[in-house]
Amino acid sequence: MNKYFLLPIALFAISCASSLNTSDTKTFKGVYSQVDGFAIFTDCQTNKSYPIAFEKDYVSLKKAYTVVANSIEDTIVVSFDANVEIRKSTQDIYKEFLIVERFENIWPKIDCNGNLGIANLKNSLWVLREFMGSSEMELKSKQDIHIIISTNNRVKGFGGCNNFEGNASIENDKINFTNINSNSKECNNSSAEYELLKTLGIVDKYKIYGEYLYLFSDNKKILVFESVYIN
């Protein structure tokens, strides 16, 4: 085929693809996963899958996923505002890509049928689920290890052996726990409880993703709590 004939066809294909792009930003909720180096999103309502472009506020989505995912194969429900653009993929075919304009939230440990609520930092019963990277708790007791932060920033909780209380200083996503004191009852969990309370003392930042509270020190995740509702 004549190369001068092919040129208009190529230009026409690019023109058609460009005409399918939309500047309308829409809110998407669905399942995010990482497959062979690609970011893939599957819409909860339509079950349609899109690749996600590595630009704009995708960095916030990726950062949140890194915090909550236990492995790179995890699929996790997310929401964000995005545009749809037709772009050439690595296979030299045109596909609809999502361009994330604003990351909203991420919901660990649920699928599209799960509750997409977001727990409140204050007046929630936060039960310990992960301690210094491990979900295997040495702090075993008949009562859940937990914390509650009141509206006036008072902190109360149970550390596996004793009740404790103290204060919380909160500003934006910064949080510090101070004056944490417990009663002096000794039990089999005393040393582990001591480590837990000491760890609370070095917390400097928090994030809430869905029903989970993530506590950090120097940008390292050190404690994970789940919001539990009392019937």
Which amino acid makes up residue 82?
Answer: A
Residue 8 in any domain: the answer is yes
Which CATH number do you get for residue 201?
2.40.128.270
* Mean pLDDT for all residues in the chain: 84
Residues 86-104: tens digit of each pLDDT:
988 777 788 899 999 999 9
The residue among 47, 74, 107 that closes a domain is: 107
Question: How many Å apart are CA 40 and CA 49, to the nearest integer?
Answer: 7
Q: How many separate domains does the chain show?
A: 2
CB 116 within 8 A of CB 107: yes
Q: Which residue in 51, 53, 15, 10 sits closest to 30, CA to CA?
A: 51
| H-state helical runs in the chain | 3-19, 58-68, 190-200
- Per-residue model confidence (pLDDT) at position 12: 37
Residue 113 in any domain: the answer is no
Residue 120 in any domain: the answer is no
Both 155 and 205 in a single domain?
Answer: yes
Residues spanned by the domain of 150: 125-228
Both 142 and 81 in a single domain?
Answer: no
Residues 68-87: tens digit of each pLDDT:
987 656 779 999 999 999 98
Instruction: Round to the nearest angstrom and report the end-to-end CA distance of the chain.
Output: 74
Both 139 and 204 in a single domain?
Answer: yes
> What average pLDDT does the segment 151-172 reach?
94
Question: How many Å apart are CA 203 and CA 199, to the nearest integer?
Answer: 7
Both 97 and 129 in a single domain?
Answer: no
